Amino acid sequence: MCVYLYIHINIHSTHTYVTLDHKTSHKGTIADQPDFDAGSDAEALYNAMKGFGSDKEAILELITSRSNAQRQEIRAAYKSQYGKDLIDDLKYELTGKFERLIVGLMRPPAYHDAKEIKDAIKGAGTDEKCLIEILTSRTNEQIHNLVAAYKDAYGRDLEEDVIGDTSGHFKKMLIVLLQGTREEDDVVSEDLVEQDAQDLYDAGEAQWGTDEAKFIMLLGNRSVTHLQLVFDEYQKIAENSIEDSIKSELSGDFERLMLAVVQCIRSKPMYFAKRLYKSMKGLGTADNTLIRIMVSRSEIDMLDIRECFRLRYEKSLYNMIQDDTSGEYKRTLLNLCGGDDDIAGEFFPEAAQIAYKMWEISAMTKVQLRGTVRPYQNFDPASDAQALRKAMKGFGTDEDTIIDIVTHRSNAQRQEIRQTFKSLLGRELMADLKSELSKNLERLILGLMMTPAEFDAKMMKKAMEGAGTDEHSLIEILVTRSNQEIQEMCSAYQNAYKKSLEDAIVSDTSGQFKRILISLAQGAREEGPVDMARALEDAQVLADACNADSGDMEDKFMSILCTRSFPHLRRVFQEFVRCSNKDFEQIIKKEMSGDFKNAMFAIVRSVKNQPSYFADRLYKAMKGLGTDDRALIRIMVSRSEIDLFNIRKEFKETHDATLHEFIQGDTSGDYRKTLLIICGGED
């Protein structure tokens, strides 16, 4: 069967936004139960709650295998047969998150939304994220039903309650959304597309200050299809995405609200995939968010959300729920999820087309990389050398002066300071710093004072010395460095440790993993433009290697992934999807293991979006108990003049928190101060 799909694509920084306009049937995971009998189901639920204890398994299996419309019939039958309200009985019998989830499923959608909004605005604080999520993602009809349900359930006017609980431009935009008057999706005013884009540009980027009213009017009323075209046109005019402009022009809850509007215009399934991921990542789970989305989207677009989730996070929604929840609560959520996309390692037809397009854009997109540390304008190496000597002379050390000088000079300028320090004072700056500083601050400052090649060589040495090997460090460095950087690192390693880096790798690693590292350590990855014919050939070789009867899969993958240029590999991965319908990253996860798998995966992640790969490495270095300071120092030092600004943007986009906030919460003292200066901003 041929599936026709209209795909709208936009490039936002290094991200791809894809909007699906399906000309296919039901995209939910919950549908009407055939041979439905409301009376029989009401009796089954009554029996499951009768007597001492309750049969929770029977309750969750029945309720998650009926559509919401059928659940309302069951509720009516229950009342007529037993004279009791089914929701009241469920509340009495069940507890905690499981109760909230089951009761949420039993409410009509509009009443479930009304209850969520009511809970979001009652009491001392307001759950702005809940208000944003519901009001930006519902259709006109759903908004109208919500307003009516709120009035019916609480005897109050929703608009008045929102006005009483919010303020400023945030309040104004919520009120616009509450009208439910957005133009229908098929309304596109072609003659207004360019004008609207220009108006948005004039209201923000082009002037001092922002005309918020213009943003509210256009983003709150134009149709989804129209705004998608406007966003494309805006990118041409501003040479910037609408998202980046919103981030630079707006702030606080209003900024979050307008970004959510844009994300829902781009792709509601991708918006919800991000919300679900953020509800479960890290310590603790935002169960209210998780429940609300799983309940509200289970009959609408959960299949699309699952596809977007796996495309973005390289992990199935099913597996993340499985890892993050427990008991009957988990089993209910998994039933609503409807399946594990990691099992097959293949795309749904729609997702395969999205993946193909995403890799195509990755192959064409030129991303401007930006560091956070730049050369100092009024640089005087002699003055800096004298100031550093003074900061370390006598009793005590002036750490503030050391930090200020070292973090505000480029690496090339730091090397001049080292040379000048020796020629003027006859002393080794590195030795003096080492004797005056301690612990993580010493490691960080010394790392900044080394040349990039010296620093990488030291990090490689540290990763291999002692009892254990830090394989992740070896992978990270060798996968992400250019040919020139690797060759310079190898020379620095030989000079510092009187041993070749290749010999060190051979003696410290083994098997296929050793072969990958040695291949990467040659610094001989191809450079130059993509050879389209060869890209097709490479894609077919990889697809053939994935066949069950192929015994040389790892060799084939290594021969291509370790030697081809990144632009070439982007094209290869695109064509791989076309000729195999398989998810490249899932194949690696399923068919490979150990450090070899980690290395292959790191290559793919770097090819796709290297700043995102580093953002993920930084997140893992700081999440949970304890901090991997070696990884934190290594990335902050090595990327500070290359792409740390891009890494910051990726970090915030994926983790809903800034890199600055993570460093602030996870480190302390002068070490933290130095890291925050290198970070370069709060985003």
pLDDT per residue as tens digits for the range 324-350: 999 999 999 999 999 887 665 566 656
Look up residue 444 and give its two tokens.
Answer: 């960080």
Q: Average pLDDT over the chain, rounded to whole? A: 88
Residues linked to residue 346 through DSSP beta bridges, in sequence order: 582
Residue 363: its pLDDT value, please? 66
* Residue position matching structure tokens 């009957």: 328
Residue 13: its pLDDT value, please? 37
Residue 64: its pLDDT value, please? 96
CATH for 97: 1.10.220.10
Structural domain contains residue 47: yes
Structural domain contains residue 548: no
Residue at which a domain ends, from 420, 449, 478: 449
Same domain, 100 and 118: no
Structural domain contains residue 342: no
Q: How far apart are CA 436 and CA 406, in angstroms?
A: 15
pLDDT band at 204 (very low <50, low <70, confident <90, very high): confident
Average pLDDT of the residues in 262-288: 89
Structural domain contains residue 475: yes
Structural domain contains residue 65: yes
Residue 14: its pLDDT value, please? 37
pTM of the full predicted structure? 0.72
Average pLDDT of the residues in 89-95: 94
Same domain, 425 and 484: no
Structural domain contains residue 635: yes
Residues linked to residue 186 through DSSP beta bridges, in sequence order: none
Residue at which a domain ends, from 106, 121, 136: 106
Q: Say whether pLDDT at 5 is over 50.
A: no
- 157 — alpha (psi -120 to 50), left (phi > 0) or beta? beta
Structural domain contains residue 476: yes
Q: Say whether pLDDT at 141 is over 80.
A: yes
Which of 172, 619, 643 shows the shortest CA–CA distance to 373?
Answer: 643
Same domain, 441 and 482: no
- If one counts every other C-beta atom within 10 angstroms of the C-beta of residue 224, the result is 21
Same domain, 615 and 674: yes
Same domain, 50 and 72: yes
**Domain span including residue 63:** 38-106
The alpha carbon dihedral of 662, 665, 671, 677 has a sign of: positive
Which of 263, 277, 264, 259 shows the shortest CA–CA distance to 142?
Answer: 264
At 612-641, the pLDDT tens digits run: 899 999 999 998 778 899 999 999 999 999
Length of the chain: 683
Same domain, 403 and 390: yes
Sequence-separated (6 or more) residues with CB below 8 Å from residue 285: 279, 324, 325
Same domain, 471 and 438: no
Same domain, 51 and 101: yes
Q: How far apart are CA 29 and CA 35, in angstroms?
A: 18
pLDDT band at 674 (very low <50, low <70, confident <90, very high): very high
Four-point Cα dihedral 390, 393, 399, 400, nearest 10: -30
Residue 26: its pLDDT value, please? 63
Domains: count for the chain: 5
Give the lowest-confidence range in 355-369, 446-460, 461-475, 594-608: 355-369
Residue at which a domain ends, from 78, 106, 134: 106
Structural domain contains residue 249: no
